[in-house]
Structure 1
């Protein structure tokens, strides 16, 4: 008998993919801990005996990373360093049948909505009184908050509805209680996430209620920043902007993935919006909330994309000068409507186009950052690395946006807000001094 099996179980959760997965892992951690089961996230000490891999199945690169991670854990189990390997999340939801036969060493596979079944494997009970409670894997001062699950959109390239199901909103009262619980833990910033923020409320309230939710969250004492991620541009509810303008603790920041700017591509992608309508929306957003930071995400190499489409996209970026831009290479996903199209842009060409597009944005980002030199911003201190403090302004989200290198003549506290005068600016980062 192995000595390990005489010890109390300790579970390590490995999270891959997006912030929505991270929240799921935190909820699982909270449930396990409430059942007196030792649990850690991304454990580096390797003193655990059970692993749960929370997978991503969004695009080819993410799927490959998930499979490699599973295989790594299975190898540890083969060597006797683990007792059990469980797999959950989007990849497991989508390909469970195939994966079970290809990687039989995994002890059990679970879908995206099967938390109670995972707990059963640990002889643990799902505790409904813990609704919204979770063990944070982020630093104490910020957290992601998922306001809905799934998506009703039918974008041609997207497999998310296959893995996450239809849109289901969480009630406002639940989300307010969750925000209050997070503040008690020391959270000062919440990032609202969903596959599609603007659809919020249509299922349970029969109308779009993101503005009402924002007002309710803005009333939570101690919540200093509320940030909006993943808003769909078609039929965008402009009332969101009124709330953003009125409430000081809602960041003037909007993450709105547009995916492309050529009408040919927008139609092929089934985005339900034209370039002209996007232009009008961007103008309205900037008129209603002066100084707002606009972030978008794009796709390079969608089937049928031509050099003319790429040129149209670059011209669109130069015209509208987004503050932040991310880009993905198109991934040909089974059971999406685009899968019936010919994936006719070679992988290296997708990468070349993505690089070309980001070079346009890099110049824009540099110019916009130069405009900040000499100005003073409220900065949230995130961490200290190599003797330097790193923080963010309200115009920057975690990991995906600019960081501010903060020079201070005194010791700063992680999670503290300070006023910083910007002294230098680079393509994607800023530098400044505490005043």
Structure 2
């Protein structure tokens, strides 16, 4: 147990990771040594930043808290604190059920932790954070909350209404991160196409990304979590005209059946979805579209699911994830719908649609053999260097494996790589 050392454990999404990075900077400024995501406690204190999005994430958060409670009972930890989405939503319940935790904080009041440690929050460091990712890329959170109110989603119950950060703050942070060596920015928020509506009265995501692209040193900008309804079409022009804006869009479509889209409160129809995908591909040739689909939503019939499978087959998304519906208390779906699709049926549908995507991914990857892609190197693993193209986001997408063969490739540097072989979800290549 190291004195004055605090372990920060981050669970859930990259938005949580940004919060942890801000907390880590504040703790370091107050004289603590901070370690992130260690497998077991190293310090005398630990802070767990929890996720509360869906059932599996909540279970992981609770299990992690209990593991650290056990470490505290065994004398391996003096103080344990919990923050984040799970404790934002279930604070009173958690306090009653897990008394070994010294204090629970929500998602937005973690600054109180510094006061409880007898330290002060340094307001001169609002944009500064400890980057826990490889030095060449960082996540850039541009807003909190969500106004969409999809029937199944608990995020608005946890984070509240959409709150955009001012553009000048975001651009200042980008410049500071570039000065630290960051070249690649993963732009994140719960629903980035809504960005600016609350501050400026209109969608400003295209303006923001264009201004970011003009900052010297910004090599790649990648966009995560767009929404299909009221999509800001001018964003496509920005992606097309600026080489450092990756031809990549993460847009969660969830479903395509009008019956289910209506029940989900997605405010978009099947035809509008098809028209949008067509326009995105026409205006940004070669774009990589990543999406997420949901199976087993209340009321989903066999016909609805067949429609979803046909949609996946025809659209041939470059990247696709899927998950089974999980009832979240307090949501419209939990209150007004019966969770009437049996677990076994949900799992069967999930397996089916992912098998479809596996085949599509294998075919799309095989078609890349012989082509040359600009690739950034993230790390070395054994005899391979591991990199990504502009079409691959870290942690969630495929990678390019490059055999070292005695060569020294520099992490965080770009190389032209010719694809020599492929698997369902990975590529192999040689530096040219």
TM-score, length-scaled by structure 1:
0.97
Residue 288 of structure 1, CA deviation = 0.5
Residue 46 of structure 1, CA deviation = 3.5
Residue 348 of structure 1, CA deviation = 2.4
Residue 278 of structure 1, CA deviation = 0.3
Alignment of 1:40-59 (within 5 A): 40-44=35-39, 46-59=41-54
Residue 407 of structure 1, CA deviation = 2.7
Structure 1, unmatched stretches of 5+, are none
Which digits, 9 at most, give the CA deviation of each residue in 1:50-83, with x for residues without a partner? 0100000011100000000000001111111101
For 2:94, the equivalent position in structure 1 comes to 99
Asked whether 1:327 is paired with 2:322, we answer yes
Which digits, 9 at most, give the CA deviation of each residue in 1:148-193, with x for residues without a partner? 0000111000000111111000111111111111112211111000
SS of the residue corresponding to residue 137 of structure 1 reads coil
d(CA) in 1 for partners of 2:290, 2:40: 37
d(CA) in 2 for partners of 1:80, 1:123: 23
d(CA) in 1 for partners of 2:394, 2:199: 30
Is the 1:408–1:433 Cα contact (8 Å) retained in structure 2?
Answer: no
Which residue, out of 5, 12, 20, partners 1:10? 5
Asked whether 1:431 is paired with 2:391, we answer no
Query: Which 10-residue stretch deviates more, 391-400 or 33-42?
Result: 33-42
Is the 1:408–1:434 Cα contact (8 Å) retained in structure 2?
Answer: no
d(CA) in 2 for partners of 1:398, 1:355: 24
For 1:370, the equivalent position in structure 2 comes to 366
SS of the residue corresponding to residue 338 of structure 2 reads coil
Which residue, out of 99, 123, 130, partners 2:125? 130
Asked whether 1:411 is paired with 2:408, we answer yes
Could you list the structure 1 runs, at least 4 aligned residues long, displaced by more than 4 angstroms after superposition: none
For 1:307, the equivalent position in structure 2 comes to 302
Which residue, out of 324, 349, 366, partners 1:353? 349
For 1:173, the equivalent position in structure 2 comes to 168
Asked whether 1:187 is paired with 2:182, we answer yes
Asked whether 1:384 is paired with 2:380, we answer yes
SS of the residue corresponding to residue 50 of structure 1 reads strand
Query: Which 10-residue stretch deviates more, 215-224 or 266-275?
Result: 215-224
Is the 2:383–2:404 Cα contact (8 Å) retained in structure 1?
Answer: no
Residue 325 of structure 1, CA deviation = 0.2
Is the 2:26–2:121 Cα contact (8 Å) retained in structure 1?
Answer: yes
Is the 1:296–1:326 Cα contact (8 Å) retained in structure 2?
Answer: yes
Is the 1:407–1:434 Cα contact (8 Å) retained in structure 2?
Answer: no
For 2:58, the equivalent position in structure 1 comes to 63
Is the 1:31–1:126 Cα contact (8 Å) retained in structure 2?
Answer: yes
SS of the residue corresponding to residue 130 of structure 1 reads coil
Alignment of 1:108-147 (within 5 A): 108-147=103-142
SS of the residue corresponding to residue 397 of structure 2 reads coil
Structure 2, unmatched stretches of 5+, are none
- The CA RMSD measured in Å over matched residues stands at 1.1
Which residue, out of 262, 265, 268, partners 2:257? 262
Which residue, out of 270, 273, 287, partners 1:275? 270
For 2:219, the equivalent position in structure 1 comes to 224
Asked whether 1:397 is paired with 2:393, we answer yes
Is the 1:14–1:54 Cα contact (8 Å) retained in structure 2?
Answer: yes
Residue 44 of structure 1, CA deviation = 4.3
SS of the residue corresponding to residue 124 of structure 2 reads helix
SS of the residue corresponding to residue 128 of structure 1 reads coil
Residue 408 of structure 1, CA deviation = 4.5
SS of the residue corresponding to residue 230 of structure 1 reads strand
Query: Which 10-residue stretch deviates more, 44-53 or 350-359?
Result: 44-53
TM-score, length-scaled by structure 2:
0.98
d(CA) in 2 for partners of 1:355, 1:319: 18
Is the 1:382–1:415 Cα contact (8 Å) retained in structure 2?
Answer: yes
How many residues of Structure 1 are paired with residues of Structure 2 in the alignment?
430
Is the 1:420–1:432 Cα contact (8 Å) retained in structure 2?
Answer: yes
Asked whether 1:338 is paired with 2:370, we answer no
d(CA) in 1 for partners of 2:365, 2:33: 45
Residue 43 of structure 1, CA deviation = 2.4
Alignment of 1:189-208 (within 5 A): 189-208=184-203
Which digits, 9 at most, give the CA deviation of each residue in 1:257-305, with x for residues without a partner? 0011111111110000011100000011011100000000011111111
Is the 2:41–2:77 Cα contact (8 Å) retained in structure 1?
Answer: no
